[in-house]
Amino acid sequence: MSGNRKLLTQLNQILTNELTSISQLMVHAEISKIWGYTKLSEAKHKHVLYKLRNTEWLIERIVSLAGSPKSIEIKTLEIATNIEEIVIKDDIVLQKAANIYLLAVKQAQTLGDLATINLLSKIIDNEKNHLKSIDIVEIPMDEISLQNYFLSEISAG
């Protein structure tokens, strides 16, 4: 099946965003681990696994549309310098990705491409379910609470 050029471009943009978010999540997982935030690190590692599955499905769909999977360019990673930034910067990357998914769904709807609509809907639903299923790591953002959280993470580890 030959794919619409605009839709293939959007799918490749999604692929780029997935690869960028995987890189950023991996870096933040390791930073969290080094800083002693093991629960946050584990949650980030799990999220990476879900994102890797998404990229596999995207690549399969791009190839099935006779396209060439390519990452246009990995975007600049927004690496955090503290725990609060990790949470905020990763949320921003995930929100940007969600917006691009929605644009691609609209394009696929315009073309009547049910397979792409189903795939993107599946990825969006999986992402939502994953975020609900992981232990939400509540990070207190004031300095004293943050220090107490850090101590409890080290004690638990």
Q: Which domains does the chain have, with CATH numbers?
A: 5-156 (1.20.1260.10)
Report the chain's mean pLDDT, rounded to a whole number: 84
Mean pLDDT of 125-150: 60
Mean pLDDT of 32-43: 90
Measure the CA–CA gap between 113 and 53, rounded to whole angstroms. 21
pLDDT(88) > 70: yes
Measure the CA–CA gap between 85 and 47, rounded to whole angstroms. 17
Confidence grade of residue 59 (pLDDT, cut at 50, 70, 90): very high
Measure the CA–CA gap between 19 and 153, rounded to whole angstroms. 29
pLDDT(99) > 90: no
H helix or E strand, kind and range, residue 130: helix 114-133
CB 111 within 8 A of CB 4: yes
Mean pLDDT of 102-113: 94
The whole-number pLDDT of residue 91 equals: 82
The whole-number pLDDT of residue 40 equals: 86
